[in-house]
Every structure is written in structure tokens, then in C-alpha cells.
């Protein structure tokens, strides 16, 4: 969900916040329940969920970006199974799994999305992909969280990539859609209907490679132990629309870098495994 397309979702969030503010004004004016006295315990403000950490392991061989992730290279990767609702209110309805690996050249991501109806129309580069069912990755490799790269991919293999950075005039941010991640490879494969779901569900899998020469810190591959900030999302429009996140941004849009999780690059093989 890019800045351009987040209006509807953000409008609902703003409406909710406006309702909260209206209640606060009502209470401040004495129109609500009596203020608690010092002898009455006050409920602690809910704490935001902790930021997740993903250990990104080295690929166990060559990754062929063909939309299938059955090659040994992916065998080293840990799955994140299931994304949360963006508002932080529990797990999403639409099953979404992702994993990541890296080598000296690229960061590789794969998403597996279970879907009951694929809603997608865009096929052009830098189209309004967020209007379709899509997965998104926001990656900040440097020390300035206000600078990051945004990627969106839909089931038709349309890609939107953008560079996000502070507005030099000091207000908000710039989302530069003219930036293209040179050398990016993306493939999407749609699987057959799942028989156990009565033929009502399918999966679509995204496999992508993004060169460190484009997105890396100082345009280089990460050093083992290097830590990036990142978030991963899904927009789903079949039936009641859903906005899902690895680290829920809560009341803000997807452009909430302070809620990005941690992507830690490691050379270590998985437990019980062997080094590539």
C-alpha cells in the first residue's frame, strides 16, 4: 500500500482517531464519566507489540528466480508463517508466508499467499500495484530510517519499486517511483486450486532477487551480523479487504519505518544443517 493508494485505509484510521479525539474532548469538557480519583487504579496504556527479528541466512546454492522455491538454496531459510493485521489486532485471515536468503550478489525473498479470489489488473512497471492483491517489502539498509526502498509485486508479476527519502523542503517524505532497482528479478507462479479447500483456494508464490549493488548499505553485500530494518506486507482484496504486516504499523500507513522489524544477515548454517 503506497502513499498514493493508502487514502482509503488511512481515512478509516483517521476517522477512528477523530472519534477518539472527540471522546477525549467530551471527557475534558466534563461530559463523560467522572475522572478517576487518585485512589482508583488507572489501566496501563497498551504497549505496541515488540519489533520482530528475522535471521537471514546464506543461500544454500544458486537461486533460480522462476516462482518456485523448491531448489536447495531455499532449504536454509526460516519460514515466517502468517502475517498480522496492520492494526495490530491479531493474525490476518489470508495465510501469507515469507522467507529470505542472501548471497554475495542479492537478497532473495519469497512469499506464498493463499487466496480465494485473485484480484489484479495491473501489468506495467510502476503501476498502482497496491490497488491489486499484492505483497510488499520495505527495506532500509542504512542508518537513516527515513531512507528506504519499497517494492510491490502483484499476481500478474507487475512490479512497483521506489526510493523513499525525506523531503528536502522538510515536510513529510518523497516516494520516488522513477527509481528502478536495476537487475531486479521477479517471478510469480500460481498453483492449482487446493483440493482440501474444495477447489476454492489457490496459492500464488513470489520469488524475487534484489542486487545489493542497488539496495545494500554503501551498495555492497552485507557483512555477517549486519542489521537492516524491514517490513513485509500483503494487500488482499477478495471479499473484505485486508492489510497484513510482519510488524504491524498500527495506526499509521505502511510508511511507518519506526515499526520496521530487524533483518539480521548471518553466515551461520541452520541448526542441524551444514554450511553451504
The answer to whether 258 and 219 have CB atoms below 8 angstroms apart is no
Q: How many residues bind Ca ion (CB under 5 A)?
A: 7
Q: What would the x/- binding string for Ca ion be over residues 195 to 234, using CB under 5 A? A: ----------------------------------------
Nearer to Ca ion, 84 or 181 (CB): 181
Among 97, 126, 185, 226, indicate the residue that binds Ca ion (CB under 5 A).
126
Q: How far is the CB of 68 from Ca ion (least distance, A)?
A: 5
Q: How far is the CB of 11 from Ca ion (least distance, A)?
A: 26
Report DSSP letters for 253-267, one per residue.
-S--GGG-EEEEEE-
Among 157, 180, 203, 253, indicate the residue that binds Ca ion (CB under 5 A).
180
Q: How far is the CB of 153 from Ca ion (least distance, A)?
A: 12
Which residues, 38 to 67, sit near Ca ion by CB under 5 A?
64, 66
- CA dihedral in degrees (164, 168, 169, 171; nearest 10)? 30
Question: Distances from the Cα of 191 to the Cαs of 103, 118, 120, in angstroms?
Answer: 27, 12, 16
The answer to whether 101 and 108 have CB atoms below 8 angstroms apart is yes
Binding status of residue 97 toward Ca ion by CB under 5 A:
no
Cα(264)–Cα(100) distance, integer angstroms: 11
At 180, give phi and psi (nearest 5°).
-120, 135
The answer to whether 123 and 109 have CB atoms below 8 angstroms apart is no
Q: How far is the CB of 27 from Ca ion (least distance, A)?
A: 47
Which residues, 235 to 264, sit near Ca ion by CB under 5 A?
none
136's CB contacts (< 8 A; 6+ apart) are 1, 130, 150, 151, 152, 153, 232, 233, 234, 235, 254
Among 10, 161, 236, 242, indicate the residue that binds Ca ion (CB under 5 A).
161
Q: How far is the CB of 9 from Ca ion (least distance, A)?
A: 22
Stretch touching Ca ion by CB under 5 A, among 127-135, 159-167, 228-236, 244-252: 159-167
Q: How far is the CB of 201 from Ca ion (least distance, A)?
A: 22
Q: How far is the CB of 102 from Ca ion (least distance, A)?
A: 15
Stretch touching Ca ion by CB under 5 A, among 18-26, 75-83, 84-92, 169-177: 169-177
Count other C-beta atoms under 10 Å from residue 12's C-beta. 11
> In this structure, what C-alpha cell is assigned to residue 162?
521506489
List residues near Ca ion by CB under 5 A.
64, 66, 68, 126, 161, 177, 180
Amino acid at each position: 500500500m503506497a502513499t498514493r493508494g493508502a487514502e482509503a485505509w488511512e481515512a478509516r484510521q483517521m476517522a477512528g482517531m477523530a472519534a477518539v479525539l472527540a471522546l477525549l474532548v467530551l471527557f475534558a469538557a466534563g461530559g463523560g464519566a467522572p475522572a478517576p480519583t487518585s485512589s482508583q487504579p488507572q489501566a496501563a496504556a497498551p504497549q505496541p507489540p515488540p519489533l520482530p527479528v528475522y535471521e537471514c541466512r546464506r543461500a544454500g546454492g544458486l537461486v533460480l528466480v522462476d516462482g518456485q522455491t523448491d531448489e536447495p538454496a531455499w532449504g536454509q531459510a526460516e519460514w515466517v508463517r502468517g502475517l498480522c493485521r496492520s492494526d495490530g489486532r491479531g493474525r490476518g485471515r489470508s495465510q501469507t508466508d515469507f522467507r529470505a536468503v542472501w548471497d554475495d550478489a542479492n537478497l532473495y525473498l519469497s512469499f506464498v499467499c493463499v487466496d480465494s479470489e485473485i484480484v489484479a489488473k495491473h501489468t506495467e512497471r510502476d503501476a498502482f500495484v497496491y490497488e491489486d492483491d499484492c505483497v510488499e517489502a520495505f527495506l532500509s539498509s542504512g542508518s537513516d530510517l527515513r531512507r528506504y526502498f519499497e517494492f510491490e509485486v502483484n499476481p500478474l508479476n507487475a512490479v512497483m519499486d521506489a526510493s523513499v527519502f525525506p523531503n528536502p523542503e522538510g515536510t513529510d517524505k518523497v516516494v520516488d517511483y522513477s527509481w528502478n532497482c536495476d537487475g531486479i528479478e521477479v517471478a510469480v507462479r500460481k498453483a492449482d486450486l487446493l483440493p482440501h479447500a474444495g477447489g476454492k483456494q489457490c496459492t500464488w508464490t513470489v520469488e524475487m532477487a534484489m542486487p545489493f549493488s542497488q539496495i545494500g548499505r554503501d551498495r555492497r553485500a552485507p557483512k555477517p551480523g549486519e542489521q537492516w530494518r524491514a517490513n513485509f506486507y500483503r494487500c488482499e482484496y477478495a471479499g473484505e479487504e485486508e492489510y497484513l504486516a510482519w510488524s504491524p504499523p498500527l495506526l499509521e500507513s505502511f510508511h511507518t519505518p519506526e515499526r520496521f522489524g530487524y533483518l539480521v544477515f548471518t553466515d551461520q548454517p541452520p541448526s542441524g544443517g551444514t554450511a553451504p
